[in-house]
Amino acid sequence: MGRFVLGPACVREAGTAQPATGPCRVGPGGPFCQLSPNPTMSRLPTRPSAAVADASPPSEMDFQVVVLAGGTSEKLSPLVSKDVPKALLPVANRPVLSYVLDLLEASDLKDIIVVVEGQEAARLVGAWASSAYLDRLLVEVVAVPEDIGTAGALRAISKRLTANDVLVISGDLVTDVLPGAVAATHRRNGAAVTALLCSVPISGPSDAASSGGKDKAKKPTRLNIVGLDITRQFLLHIVSGTDVEKDVRVYKRKIRAVGEMEIRSDLMDAHLYAFKRTTLQNILEEKESYHSIRLEVLPYLVRSQLKSSSSGGEGTTVDETGDATVPSNSHLQCLSQHRILAPSAFKKDLLSSGGTYRCCVYIATKSKYCHRLNSIQAYCDINRDVVGDASHLSGYSFSAQNNIIHPTSVLGSKTTIGPQCMLAEGSQLGDKCSVKRSVIGRHCRIGSNVKIVNSVVMNHVVIEDGCHIQGSVICNNVQLQERAVLKDCQVGAGYIVTASSEHKAESLSKKVERF
């Protein structure tokens, strides 16, 4: 585990006044220090943040914030690379991690540990953060081994956690739900864990322009099945990634403890949790095999909260004969809610049942935007939304034509940039080009008669005359030679698409040489 300094001074070991030893150099985003094996804190000076009107989170002394920023996810290949880790993938020409950090700043939560998988990925994230958040946030970037999972990442930094409560948030979350609201709910309920639940996002393009994306949206999904009490404050049952063909199984003792449970299939676990620190540390220590917060730690807490309540057997039903079941998930695809009742003789109050833990939820209203960048389809969806219906998240001011065209960009004769588009600084387009519902990055060179629809074009891309691009993602430094056609493709960094070639639903990237 390594730590990286963000700020103008070389690092010092945490809790000491002695300068740390190790190589130190100045990188492109500011000073960068790698220290091994001694753990160190890396800090950015702070700047006061505006108070949040609709939430009053506890002070930083009572809450620590951990952002799990990932590394180079295979699910996002070829978009991620050794030069662009997941946390720095651009969403509307901003690193996705910036959306989380801005939210935390808005909730006046400024003391942040960012956990990144891999030394090189952590170095890049640290260099970016030191430049982007100087004088705004206190940031400690921590490198952990790759592929250890979310629970493993927390376990690796467990000894750094000292506050009463810990706010854990995924670095790929794009939302306007304030983390401070979740923290305040957690503290008010005295919970062991409080999870943010949001409406399941609609996947795929908003029109029929991209058939590949449209087909993906029609495929059956794996649902999150959530059981809530009648007040919708307490999490009683959760199964993530349930197959749509299977039945939902709920133990009788849960229903007997609360009397009534609401089953929901329209909610998404947003990967934003508030934990009681001692509870989290104990589970991570006792359950060394746990790899995932969502799939293991959270379900364990939910199961444990009713251990001391009436057991009533291990059946999967809730009526007196033990034969009733919850409808199968194939029906739950169209059913947002299903209510299960227990015989009145068994009804108890969850709060007085003597459970080991108390698991709570904060359910965002449907008007809130909440999406995770955990797949290529999600990457396309979020970019589309942030320059479209969720443009308030972009941080930019859109023109009267509902687009953003940087004043340093150059447009040729009869070239049109439609609504819900973004064109970054220094990019040039030739004559008779058409751009619709797309994001174009910095310093791109685009020829004449080029059409770009429902796509993301990153930085320093060259697109020659006559190319057609639809529903695709094009990474940094790609070259499309004249009259190339892409539909529903992903093109990795530095790739050359040959002239007049046509590609549909392909992933194009350079071959990695192995020695």
Taking a C-beta distance cutoff of 8 angstroms, is the pair 296, 240 a contact? no
State residue 366's pLDDT score.
Answer: 92
Q: What is the enclosing helix (H) or strand (E) of 175?
A: strand 173-175
Residues 6 or more apart in contact with residue 461 via CB below 8 angstroms: 441, 444, 445, 446, 474, 476, 477, 478, 479, 480
State residue 62's pLDDT score.
Answer: 78
State residue 255's pLDDT score.
Answer: 64
State residue 11's pLDDT score.
Answer: 28
Residue 499 banded pLDDT, cuts 50, 70, 90: very high
DSSP state of 257: H
407: preceding bond cis by omega (within 30 degrees):
no
Taking a C-beta distance cutoff of 8 angstroms, is the pair 460, 444 a contact? yes
Q: What share of the chain is helix, strand, coil (3-state, %, to 5)?
A: 20, 30, 50
Range of weakest confidence among 144-148, 204-208, 369-373, 450-454:
204-208
Beta bridge partners of 429: 411, 446
φ and ψ at residue 135, rounded to 5 degrees: 70, 15
What is the token pair recorded at 508? 């194009």
Nearest Cα neighbor of 467 from 475, 207, 453, 477 is 453
- Per the prediction, the chain carries an average pLDDT of 78
Taking a C-beta distance cutoff of 8 angstroms, is the pair 339, 324 a contact? no
Average pLDDT estimate for 340-363: 58
φ and ψ at residue 164, rounded to 5 degrees: -65, -40
By three-state DSSP, how is residue 477 classified?
coil
- State which of 1-10, 139-148, 460-469 shows the largest mean pLDDT: 460-469
Residues 27-38: tens digit of each pLDDT: 333 333 332 323
State residue 393's pLDDT score.
Answer: 93
C-alpha distance from residue 335 to each of 11, 38, 221, 265 (Å): 54, 53, 14, 7
State residue 390's pLDDT score.
Answer: 93
Residue with tokens 């495929």: 219
Nearest Cα neighbor of 336 from 458, 440, 228, 187 is 228
Between 197 and 242, the more confident residue is: 197
CA distance 413 to 204: 33
Residues 173-196: tens digit of each pLDDT: 999 999 989 999 999 999 999 999
Residues 94-113: tens digit of each pLDDT: 999 999 999 999 988 888 99
Nearest Cα neighbor of 153 from 164, 141, 165, 163 is 141
Residue 50 banded pLDDT, cuts 50, 70, 90: very low
Percent of the chain with pLDDT strictly greater than 90: 57
Predicted structure pTM score: 0.80
Taking a C-beta distance cutoff of 8 angstroms, is the pair 417, 409 a contact? no
pLDDT over threshold 90, residue 45 = no
What is the token pair recorded at 402? 């509902």
pLDDT over threshold 90, residue 323 = no
Average pLDDT estimate for 234-255: 68
What is the token pair recorded at 78? 């070829």
CA distance 76 to 137: 28
Sheet holding 337-341, edge to edge: 235-242, 223-228, 260-264, 337-341
Residue ranges and CATH numbers for the domains of the chain are: 63-202+223-306+355-372 (3.90.550.10), 396-508 (2.160.10.10)
434-436 and 451-453: which strand pairing? parallel
State residue 357's pLDDT score.
Answer: 79
Alpha-helix runs per DSSP H in 367-422: 376-386
CA distance 385 to 380: 9
90: preceding bond cis by omega (within 30 degrees):
no
Q: What is the enclosing helix (H) or strand (E) of 479?
A: strand 479-480
CA distance 464 to 22: 47
Q: State in Å, rounded, how far the first CA of the chain is from the last one.
A: 26
What is the token pair recorded at 53? 């009107």
Between 445 and 218, the more confident residue is: 445
Residue 339 banded pLDDT, cuts 50, 70, 90: low
Q: How many residues does the chain have?
A: 515
Taking a C-beta distance cutoff of 8 angstroms, is the pair 503, 489 a contact? yes
Residues 247-299: tens digit of each pLDDT: 666 666 666 666 677 888 889 899 999 999 999 999 999 999 999 999 999 99
Average pLDDT estimate for 207-235: 62
Residues 6 or more apart in contact with residue 363 via CB below 8 angstroms: 197, 198, 232, 267
Residue 134 banded pLDDT, cuts 50, 70, 90: confident
pLDDT over threshold 60, residue 61 = no
What is the token pair recorded at 374? 């955990």
Average pLDDT estimate for 215-232: 67
pLDDT over threshold 90, residue 502 = yes
Taking a C-beta distance cutoff of 8 angstroms, is the pair 213, 205 a contact? yes
Average pLDDT estimate for 368-388: 95
State residue 337's pLDDT score.
Answer: 56
What is the token pair recorded at 427? 């990019």
Label residue 241 exposed, middle or buried (CB < 10 Å: 0-12, 13-18, 19+): exposed
pLDDT over threshold 50, residue 205 = yes
CA distance 306 to 359: 10
CA distance 469 to 458: 13
Residue 319 banded pLDDT, cuts 50, 70, 90: very low
